[in-house]
Amino acid sequence: LAKPPGQHFHRDHQLWTLTLADFEAIHRCDRSLPKNFNFAGDVLDQWSQKEKTGERPANPALWWVNGKGDEVKWSFRELGSLSRKAANVLTKACGLRRGDRVAVILPRIPEWWLVNVSCMRTGLVFMPGTVQLTAKDILYRLRASKARCIVAGEEVAPAVESIVSECPDLKTKLLVSPHSRNGWLSFQELFQSASEEHSCVETGSQEPMAIYFTSGTTGSPKMAQHSQSSLGIGYTICGRYWLDLKSSDIIWNMSDTGWIKAAFGSVFSSWLQGACVFVHQMTQFDPDTFLDTLTTYPITTLCSAPTVYRMLVQKDLKRYKFKTLRHCVTGGEPLNPEVLERWRAQTGLELYEGYGQTEVGIICANQKGQEIKPGSMGKRVLPYDVQIIDENGSILPPGKEGDIALRLKSTWPFCFFSEYVDNPEKTAATLRGDFYVTGDKGVMDSDGYFWFVGRADDVIITSGYRIGPFEVESALIEHPAVVESAVVSSPDPVRGEVVKAFVVLSAPFKSSNPEKLTLELQTHVKNLTAPYKYPRKVEFVQELPKTITGKIKRNTLRDQEWGRK
């Protein structure tokens, strides 16, 4: 990086060697991002070279197990050749072109990593989604994004088939399964005969790389778009200083493939540092299986939602020997200080909380080497300038509660998302003065540590998921028993908070058995939208609190749930 200010650094520069000062310089625009950048070509293929020359430990790049005896281990070289084959499947057999959007709805199987990397190689924009998505969710995503292709497994294939006639832009359905299915191209078959010869596309650093659907208070999920550099370079600091990764590490990041946490924990942060990504494909989360995995495999780094740690500390952890585990991090929802203390007492390990969002990545964290203040989400992560601001966009002094915000002017942070696609109003609504407003309330103390207070809007953060009340209310209203409903957060000892629905019943259902009807409504929501959103608590009420203009006052119900006046 010994370049005069304002010049592009050479794209062969090894990003994992950049220092914090280099990132500050890039952020100040003293140094620029490379004009072109492609994570597959510029990072993964370089690690492949380092493997050849023995400059990287003989660690796999990806280590996948499923608990049934199946195992996959790929080096960076193997990942390179396999993803080149997959790239040829996407461009040649599927006829996809640079910039096309591809919905990828796969469980934690090795092909998810292959398809993602092959999208990078070909300049396709990948849109990950959880396999919990239902037909209605998938229809919305395919139509809103005008996706050209969907890559899916048997789990969601029937749901896709039920709505595909309503998606005129969708040209290809690619099935990842050992079996074939009518109307689908078979990934496995095409992959077998695909060539390993493929030249990585020269993508621009600001070119779109991925779209994530993210929930808000109103309407359907919005499409947050990230660029090649915001994901591909933006997570360097996070990988090095929060996850504390080196190329000899093995990181197990639990997150479902549908969330940005899978992108940074199981792709970008980890592979930028040349670490091994460990994956255990469990059909359902089970704390005992989780702990067995952690003791069986030489995992050094663990990344999981606070809900998982809350479930784990209920076990007798002293019975387990985590021989290689040395660094544990958490994020996606607030961590209670008691859980941190119990984890430390039972395992002897610290728990490093980070805070972020799909749009911005990780912006605050307890980074390795910093003192941890239990209950705080740590200090700002470079290059972000995180501040607490008031309703006019002015910075508040330490100790004052306000909106957690990121300074965008005069330099736009390169890890920041590009926009909400086709939604300039929503993009503009997140801006206040010089800042991007996260929608979360918080406080910064005089040492620069941030403390989470709560959401400024009606979004519910449960088990690490971000759920918009509107999405749950829209599902409930489709049941004949529901006249109207209001969905808010409610405290929960394990999940932090859960979704609670207040429901006004229609006349024929007023005398129904409440337990039976609760179960029926829960099943109804699980069938209509991704099941993680279902209301774990339901209360039947005569009426909902409303404003004079007839708008439901969710905040009154939420305050009531949380015992606030």
Query: Does the footprint of ligand BCO cover residue 256 (CB under 6 A)?
Result: yes
Among residues 344 and 526, whose Cβ is nearest to ligand BCO? 526
CA distance 175 to 181: 8
Query: Does the footprint of ligand BCO cover residue 469 (CB under 6 A)?
Result: no
CA distance 227 to 26: 16
Among residues 373 and 526, whose Cβ is nearest to ligand BCO? 526
DSSP 254: -
Cis peptide bond prior to 410, omega within 30° of 0: yes
Least distance in Å: CB of 66 to ligand BCO? 16
Query: Does the footprint of ligand BCO cover residue 132 (CB under 6 A)?
Result: yes
- Select from 142, 147, 159, 308 the one that contacts ligand BCO (CB under 6 A): 308
Strands 101-105 and 125-128, by their bridges, are parallel
**Residue 261 CA to its chain's centroid (Å):** 3
- Select from 227, 357, 474, 529 the one that contacts ligand BCO (CB under 6 A): 357
Q: Which stretch binds ligand BCO (CB under 6 A): 179-187, 238-246, 256-264, 429-437?
A: 256-264
CA distance 126 to 207: 12
Residue with tokens 């300038």: 385
Least distance in Å: CB of 299 to ligand BCO? 17
Among residues 63 and 212, whose Cβ is nearest to ligand BCO? 212
Q: Which residues partner with 455 through β-bridges?
A: 440
Strands 361-365 and 351-357, by their bridges, are antiparallel
Query: Does the footprint of ligand BCO cover residue 274 (CB under 6 A)?
Result: no
DSSP 544: -
Query: Does the footprint of ligand BCO cover residue 215 (CB under 6 A)?
Result: no
- Select from 107, 332, 334, 383 the one that contacts ligand BCO (CB under 6 A): 332
Q: Which stretch binds ligand BCO (CB under 6 A): 158-166, 168-176, 355-363, 482-490?
A: 355-363
Residue with tokens 């939604």: 423
Q: Which stretch binds ligand BCO (CB under 6 A): 161-169, 427-435, 511-519, 526-534?
A: 526-534
Least distance in Å: CB of 260 to ligand BCO? 5
CA distance 472 to 466: 12
Query: Does the footprint of ligand BCO cover residue 17 (CB under 6 A)?
Result: no
Q: Which stretch binds ligand BCO (CB under 6 A): 197-205, 230-238, 253-261, 436-444?
A: 253-261
Q: Which stretch binds ligand BCO (CB under 6 A): 135-143, 160-168, 171-179, 258-266?
A: 258-266
Query: Does the footprint of ligand BCO cover residue 459 (CB under 6 A)?
Result: no
Among residues 140 and 532, whose Cβ is nearest to ligand BCO? 532
Q: Which has the closest alpha carbon to 358: 530, 214, 500?
A: 214
Query: Does the footprint of ligand BCO cover residue 331 (CB under 6 A)?
Result: yes
- Select from 154, 453, 532, 560 the one that contacts ligand BCO (CB under 6 A): 532
Q: What letters, b where the CB count within 10 A reaches 16 and e where it falls short, cover 318-334?
A: eebebeebebbbbbbbb
* 111, containing H or E segment: helix 110-122
Tokens (6 digits) for 364: 């605050």
Helices (H), ranges, 398-444: 424-429
CA distance 161 to 177: 16
User: Which parts of this chain interact with ligand BCO (CB under 6 A)?
Assistant: 132, 255-256, 259-261, 284-285, 305, 307-308, 331-332, 356-358, 463-465, 526, 531-532
